Amino acid sequence: MKSGVSAGAYNAAYGLSFGVVFGAVFLKELLPEDNALRRGFEDGAEAAIDAVASRRAAKDQFEPEPEAHEPEPKPQAAPKPRVRKVVIKSRKAEG
């Protein structure tokens, strides 16, 4: 039963995030490049990526010290956020 609930929660979260992101990207691509709404989508997405990266860096900074019998882990640089750019090619009328 627990795995069914987990699978349902996963599918719901996946569907919701896919719908929100796909809808925003689709709407952004429909707008002209010099449109204020499109620039807002682009700047908001970039700010969200930066916020996630800084939260991860802050979390890594404040993790508790390892116990004395465990060797200290090597410091790792914060991973760069992965960015995908969707390009929609328009179909030209063949004639």
Each residue's pLDDT tens digit, 27-76: 989 999 999 999 998 999 899 999 999 998 888 877 666 566 666 667 77
3-state helix, strand, coil in the chain (%, to 5): 60, 0, 40
Rounded to whole angstroms, the Cα distance separating 18 from 54 reads 24
Stated pTM of the model:
0.50
Higher per-residue confidence, 83 vs 20: 20
Q: What is the DSSP letter of 88?
A: -
Rounded to whole angstroms, the Cα distance separating 16 from 11 reads 8
Instruction: Determine the pLDDT at residue 95.
Output: 45
For the chain, give every domain's residue range: 1-30, 32-62
Structural tokens at position 23:
């809808």
Alpha-carbon distances, residue 18 vs 22, 23, 30 (angstroms): 6, 8, 18
